[in-house]
Chain A
Amino acid sequence: MATRRRVAGPVLRRVVAVVVGLTFLGPFWWVLVTSLARTGDVYKFPPSLLPHWHWANYARAWAAAPWVRLFGNTVLIALCTVVLAVVTSVLAGYAFGVLRFRGRTALFTVVLAVMMVPQTVLLIPDYVIAQTIDWLDTYWIQIIPFGGSVFGIFLVRQFFAGLPPELFDAAELDGAGRLRTLWSIGVPLVRPAVIIVALNVFMGSWNAFVWPFIMTSSTSVQPVEVGLATFYGAEGTDWTGLSAAVTFTTLPVLALFLALQRHFVTGAYSAAGGLK
């Protein structure tokens, strides 16, 4: 009895886990099957769950938009935003977590209040600002506004605040000296936070849709998500072509994630471990 339980427990657990995993992967299989089906195949019910290897959908979807350019835009925008946001978060997180100065609490309250402003609220006035500084339909309007991350500052600050203050206890240091200790001592110590911030900002940039949709109008600066939504708007009934477009626009980010997932997971682990 006891031995049976010891064997059945892990086996049952693995079976349940595999079912859960397959449930989450199901939609990926479905989109792949649809992307490889002939148009007639997708209108059969119940649908076939095996691919038909009909690659013409990919050719058709590929020809519908300048995907390479859109993809390049996305990557450029996301990378620049991540670099900028990490730099500003580490700097400000250090200032709020380590340095003592008058008005620190007040300033930090302002930063937290920024987090509570819903993104949609900003679309209208930011559009006017973008127009005023002539940033409409540029990369800048898609990068700079996201170069400050409250979440990032908050997380980095928490990490710095948890470190022994003696580490940075060098009152005679000027700004430049501080910068040096920050890079050489501080950054390596808050690496998990930096990774989480980078992931968070990257995902935010990668998912950005309404913002570029409103702020840009030419494919030369638009990200791939807007291209996809445009394709959906124009060819909303071409499910095989849409599925093909979804597949080839999503695959690169999936590959990137799979390559880096160990870092993300370790980062998230230590971030969660640091929550007290």
Chain B
Amino acid sequence: MRKTRVAAALAVCALGAGGLAACGSGSSSGKTTITFMEAMSSGTLKTSMETLTKRFEKAHPDIDVQLQVEPDYGTLRNKETAALSASKPPTIGQVYSDWAATFAKSNVVVPLTDYAKPADLKALYPSVRDDLYLPADHKLYMWPFNKSVVIQYYNTKMLSAKGKSAPKTWDEFAATARAVSGKGNVGIAIDPGGSAGPAGGEAWFEILSQAYGTPVFAADGKPQFTSPAAIKAMNYLVGLKKAGALTLGKNYPGQVALGAGKGGFDISSVASYYYNSKAVGGKFPMGTAPLPTGPGGTQANQMAGTNIVMFAKASDAERKAAWSYLRFLTSADSQAYWAQNSGYLPVTPAALPKMTDFIKKNPYQKFAAQALTTAKADPPYPWISQAQGMLAVAMQSAITGKQSASAALGSAQQQAVDAMKSGQ
């Protein structure tokens, strides 16, 4: 009796596992199937990605594009690496340029030199184009995808109550942030991230250091965290924290505080526009403005966002199909659609005439697109994200008062140099 019951349970398990597995899979034939591993997992990012892909499949009935969506960039990199080590990578994948450098070093991605025509490259913004090559062999390995710059979002009601408007310089910004703080309100809440990966707060620090005269990474990827500019930038943040104008948090704390009507500012990517305005929900008019400038009007901004690489396992047919998909994604029409729905910036100026109404309604798109022409991306070397994680840890130590700004940056510098040496 007992034995039969157990045997029955085992049989149910076996059948159940087989049955559920069967209904999970589907197949298609006679088509070239390409897989795209990406992290556009939420909100309008997901839906506009799907719409674009459907449009492409309609125009190319012989190609089937399968999107493999991962929840965030950390998981994305994990899954790409896992798939590579299992020798089953997707056809193409979304990457930060330092991942691409790692992949290229291991010979698991292929250059796009054979596919991209000079005209294709010429259509892109120069700053976007420069970010597609890897320094090791100066070859074209990546194709642009979602590009953004950082802008300031602010609570207009809170600022005008103190007789302030959007600050033009970082000194003004600090004064305004202090003015609006207190009584449960805070100038700005940031998340530097941690050793596992940097977040928005770390990007702000990089911009501040650049605005004060020295970027945190030299063009050859060498960390320069202990420059006077970097120390000044760190002390800027420490000063805000001491004045009660800055707090640390996790999970987009700037957006949460701004949306809750408790935060004066959020320094964040243009891609946050949709989420920030959703968080604010019309409770007050949310202002947007270009980033303040450093001493002497130094404009500093960071081009963030990812590119796409093609993995070496793909067959010739798959590579060809993938290339036509990549080209489709960066066409003027696609970029106009993508920018209007995702909040990212178009990678080609040719998209701008196709989205004039949108730009009129969303003035931030205009100054953001302008910032894109001068913004710098971090140089593509394998150790960059790890070094950024170290900077994030240094920010936590300095801002919470555990270490002085120069001590925290000094130890981060030392670790980053070690990481660079072992990553070369």
B9 CB, nearest partner CB in chain A, Å: 5
A91 CB, nearest partner CB in chain B, Å: 12
**Chain B residues positioned under 8 Å from A236 (CB to CB):** 250-252
Number of B interface residues, CB 8 Å? 40
On whether A127 and B86 interact (CB within 8 A), knowing A79-B13, A83-B9, the answer reads yes
Please give me the residue from chain B that is nearest to A140 by CB atom. B17
**Chain B residues positioned under 8 Å from A45 (CB to CB):** 184
Contact of B20 among A39, A187, A220, A230 (CB under 8 A): A220
**Are A221 and B260 in touch, CB under 8 angstroms?**
no
A20 CB, nearest partner CB in chain B, Å: 30
* Cα–Cα distance between A72 and B16 once the two chains are bound (Å): 10
For residue B262, CB closer than 8 A to chain A, the reply is yes
B81 CB, nearest partner CB in chain A, Å: 10
On whether A233 and B75 interact (CB within 8 A), knowing A136-B86, A214-B82, A220-B24, the answer reads yes
A166-191 Cβ-contact flags toward B at 8 Å (1 or 0): 00000000000000000100010000
Number of A-B contacts (CB under 8 A): 89
**Chain A residues positioned under 8 Å from B72 (CB to CB):** 233-234
User: Which A residues contact B (CB, under 8 angstroms)?
Assistant: 39-40, 43, 45, 72-73, 76, 79-80, 83-84, 87, 127-128, 131, 136, 138-140, 143, 183, 187, 213-214, 217-218, 220-221, 229-231, 233-237
**Are B283 and A128 in touch, CB under 8 angstroms?**
no
**Chain B residues positioned under 8 Å from A40 (CB to CB):** 260, 281, 283
On whether A237 and B16 interact (CB within 8 A), knowing A39-B281, A220-B24, the answer reads no
B186 CB, nearest partner CB in chain A, Å: 12
**Are B79 and A220 in touch, CB under 8 angstroms?**
no
* Cα–Cα distance between A125 and B217 once the two chains are bound (Å): 36
**Are A131 and B21 in touch, CB under 8 angstroms?**
no
* Cα–Cα distance between A84 and B261 once the two chains are bound (Å): 54
A8 CB, nearest partner CB in chain B, Å: 43
For residue B295, CB closer than 8 A to chain A, the reply is no
**Are A221 and B255 in touch, CB under 8 angstroms?**
no
B2-30 interface with A by 8 A CB criterion:
2-3, 6, 9-10, 13, 16-17, 20-21, 23-25
**Are B41 and A217 in touch, CB under 8 angstroms?**
no
**Are A76 and B78 in touch, CB under 8 angstroms?**
no
**Beyond known contacts A76-B13, A87-B10, A128-B85: 11 more, CB 8 A cutoff:** A43-B262, A76-B20, A80-B16, A83-B6, A131-B87, A143-B17, A214-B82, A217-B79, A221-B20, A234-B42, A236-B252
**Chain A residues positioned under 8 Å from B2 (CB to CB):** 183, 187
* Cα–Cα distance between A43 and B3 once the two chains are bound (Å): 56
**Chain B residues positioned under 8 Å from A213 (CB to CB):** 75
Closest 6 CB pairs of A and B: A220-B24, A43-B260, A233-B71, A236-B251, A80-B13, A131-B86
**Chain B residues positioned under 8 Å from A138 (CB to CB):** 21
B39-76 interface with A by 8 A CB criterion:
41-42, 68, 71-72, 75
Most buried by A among B3, B71, B85, B87: B71
Interface of chain B, helix or strand or loop or mixed? helix
Contact of A230 among B21, B71, B259, B275 (CB under 8 A): B71
For residue B216, CB closer than 8 A to chain A, the reply is no
Can you list 30 A-B contacts with CB-CB less than 8 angstroms, sorted by A residue number?
A: A39-B259, A39-B281, A43-B259, A76-B13, A80-B13, A83-B13, A84-B10, A84-B13, A87-B10, A127-B85, A127-B86, A128-B85, A131-B85, A131-B86, A139-B17, A143-B13, A187-B2, A213-B75, A214-B78, A217-B68, A220-B20, A220-B21, A220-B24, A221-B20, A234-B41, A235-B42, A237-B251, A237-B252, A237-B256, A237-B279
B273-297 interface with A by 8 A CB criterion:
275, 279, 281, 283
B343-369 interface with A by 8 A CB criterion:
none
**Are A83 and B10 in touch, CB under 8 angstroms?**
yes
**Are A73 and B20 in touch, CB under 8 angstroms?**
yes
* Cα–Cα distance between A231 and B103 once the two chains are bound (Å): 28
Please give me the residue from chain B that is nearest to A236 by CB atom. B251
**Chain B residues positioned under 8 Å from A72 (CB to CB):** 20
* Cα–Cα distance between A83 and B10 once the two chains are bound (Å): 7
Please give me the residue from chain A that is nearest to B251 by CB atom. A236
Please give me the residue from chain A that is nearest to B18 by CB atom. A139
Most buried by B among A139, A183, A218, A231: A139
**Are A237 and B78 in touch, CB under 8 angstroms?**
no
* Cα–Cα distance between A6 and B256 once the two chains are bound (Å): 54
**Chain B residues positioned under 8 Å from A230 (CB to CB):** 41, 71, 75
B196-250 interface with A by 8 A CB criterion:
250
Please give me the residue from chain A that is nearest to B17 by CB atom. A139
* Cα–Cα distance between A221 and B25 once the two chains are bound (Å): 10
**Chain B residues positioned under 8 Å from A237 (CB to CB):** 251-252, 255-256, 275, 279
**Chain B residues positioned under 8 Å from A233 (CB to CB):** 41, 71-72, 75
Please give me the residue from chain B that is nearest to A179 by CB atom. B3
Please give me the residue from chain A that is nearest to B256 by CB atom. A237
**Are B71 and A220 in touch, CB under 8 angstroms?**
no
Please give me the residue from chain A that is nearest to B74 by CB atom. A233
On whether A221 and B24 interact (CB within 8 A), knowing A127-B82, A233-B75, the answer reads yes
Please give me the residue from chain A that is nearest to B9 by CB atom. A83
A165 CB, nearest partner CB in chain B, Å: 23
* Cα–Cα distance between A220 and B24 once the two chains are bound (Å): 5
B99 CB, nearest partner CB in chain A, Å: 18
* Cα–Cα distance between A39 and B71 once the two chains are bound (Å): 22
**Chain A residues positioned under 8 Å from B85 (CB to CB):** 127-128, 131
B357 CB, nearest partner CB in chain A, Å: 29
* Cα–Cα distance between A73 and B20 once the two chains are bound (Å): 8
Please give me the residue from chain A that is nearest to B279 by CB atom. A237
**Chain A residues positioned under 8 Å from B262 (CB to CB):** 43
A139 CB, nearest partner CB in chain B, Å: 4
